[in-house]
Amino acid sequence: MNQTLNMLVVCATLTITACVASRPVEIQAKEVSTDAFQEYNCDQLAGFYRSKKKMAVDMEAELKRRADTNEDLFAVWAVTGLQTGGYSYNDGPLSEEYAEIKGNMAAIQVVMIDKDCTNLPW
């Protein structure tokens, strides 16, 4: 009986943690080729970088909100055993898009450094 209860707790914990959204700092940049950015000049690259950075900041806020919501729902469930009816987020398209944007920003940085750009936007 005690082993069955322990197994149920482990399974429930694994199920819940599998549905938790990642924090932005936990999402790794996607590997992006620098080839797509080679044809642009330094000013264009700086503009692309600033645009991607703004998108990343907006996504970071949403991803953090989702992760915080999941933590709050889990805390209520863990303490009371009651499901609150809130929506649990997981890593989905937003996380994938955020990883791609981080990869684009890294690729732009590499190209700007290779081109000896002086107007680095970071």
pLDDT bracket for residue 15 (50, 70, 90): very low
Q: What is the pTM of this model?
A: 0.65
Q: What domain count does the chain have?
A: 1
Residue 122 lies in a domain: no
- pLDDT for 113 equals 96
- Mean pLDDT of the 15-29 span: 63
- Range from 26-30, 37-41, 92-96 carrying the lowest mean pLDDT: 92-96
**Residue 54 lies in domain:** 2-114
Q: Determine, yes or no, domain membership for 82.
A: yes
pLDDT value of residue 4: 59
DSSP of 34-91: GGGGTTS-HHHHHHHHHHHHHHHHHHHHHHHHHHHHHHHHHHHHHHH-----PPPP-S
* pLDDT above 80 for 9: no
